[in-house]
Amino acid sequence: ACVLEQLLPLALECSVIVARGQDGQVVSLPVQRNLHRGGILAVTEVHEQNLPPALVQRAQAATVDIANELRYVGVLCVEYFVLDDGTLVVNEMAPRPHNSGHYTVDACDLSQFDLQVRTLAGLPLVQPRQHSAAVMLNLLGDLWFDAAGQPRSLPWTEVLALPGAHLHLYGKTEARHGRKMGHLTFTAASAGEVRANALRAAELLGLEEF
């Protein structure tokens, strides 16, 4: 037996994180534009130039509808495929704080983790505010090895000298290929500035351009 699936004309991927309280109140974080490599999240961008406003509104509204229909309580992330004609197709739902929302720790006045605590503790939900444009780079264990597969030191001094750099390492003692070791978030006042600094960091670390 085999399963045939329609080939979708994929334009890009995005995700929306909402928090729904026990009283049914829902707040939404900004829509994230995501780039995956090898099926793993590589880059998340959240700034005024990442997505068309109409698409942002539809994605947020759809995610709020999903949370309400499920009567969900907590933080929920819905990942979408965006097709060439602008159609949104749900790819995956994560009933928890999500990798694509880690930037909120540095770029928003309330992070996805703050929202999770508030929903589960029955505390008031207020609409989060993004105060900085943000780009997040996922740091996989592959970075800790050179082209020959030998361990290497990473240029953290040069990376952290870049404006708006926020390094989050997860305390894992052993690097392995494909293992999530941490993330690096850049914040700035504008999309151009934050992208320039993140691209420079990617170059220093040996990550692909985006």
Residue 130 three-state SS: strand
Is residue 94 in a domain? yes
- Decide if 153 is inside a domain: yes
Instruction: Report if residue 81 sits inside a domain.
Output: yes
Give the single-character DSSP code of 145: B
Q: 79-104 pLDDT, tens per residue?
A: 999 999 999 999 999 999 999 999 99
pLDDT higher than threshold 90 for residue 1: no
CA distance 45 to 185: 10
Q: How many domains does the chain have?
A: 1
pLDDT at 2: 85
Give domain status of residue 5, yes or no. no
Residue 96 forms part of a structural domain: yes
pTM: 0.94
Q: Distance between CA 33 and CA 24 in Å, rounded?
A: 27
- What pLDDT is attached to residue 5? 83
Q: What is the CATH number of the domain that holds 142?
A: 3.30.470.20
**For residue 78, what are the domain limits?**
10-205
Structural domain contains residue 173: yes
Angle made by CA atoms 188, 17, 182, in degrees to the nearest 5: 60
Provide Rg for the chain, Cα atoms: 18
CA atoms within a 13 Å half-sphere pointing along the CA-CB vector of 191: 9
pLDDT digits (tens, 9 = 90+) for 6-49: 889 999 999 999 999 999 999 999 999 999 999 999 999 999 98
Tell me, yes or no, whether 171 lies in a domain.
Answer: yes
Q: Is residue 4 part of a domain?
A: no
